[in-house]
Amino acid sequence: MKVEPRCDVLSRMSHFFIRILIMELQELVERSWAIRQAYHELEVKHHDSKWTVEEDLLALSNDIGNFQRLVMTKQGRYYDETPYTLEQKLSENIWWLLELSQRLDIDILTEMENFLSDKEKQLNVRTWK
């Protein structure tokens, strides 16, 4: 019976968990897309057309403003005026970014990996890889 060196086992395990994480991220992207399609149906029903990319970006900008106010509220620098929570608005902003990446034909998972790899090289950051 051959015994694998411990680092090989850990390396294989880490690659396994990375694949699971990527699958989970892909599921989030797909769920986000499905939700956006449902919103597009409502937009067509109520306004005769779905929102443009520019309108989606405007909605993201509005939600970023709401998120900023919630952060200021948490820091004691603003009063609580919104029915949302900080966690909800942060998640919604991520959702908008996922949706916009789809509409702009950007593979966000690949681009995030590229961005992180570039920054790690640029800043000489060693990761667990």
Q: pLDDT 10s per residue in the chain (129 long)?
A: 555 555 666 666 666 667 777 778 888 888 888 999 999 999 999 999 999 999 999 999 999 999 999 999 999 999 888 789 999 999 999 999 999 999 999 998 889 889 988 999 999 988 755
Residue 89 CB neighbour total at 10 angstroms: 20
Domains, the chain: 6-122 (1.10.287)
Residue 78 makes CB contacts below 8 A (sequence gap 6+) with 69, 72
Report d(CA 105, CA 111) in Å as an integer.
11
CB count within 10 Å of CB 36 equals: 20
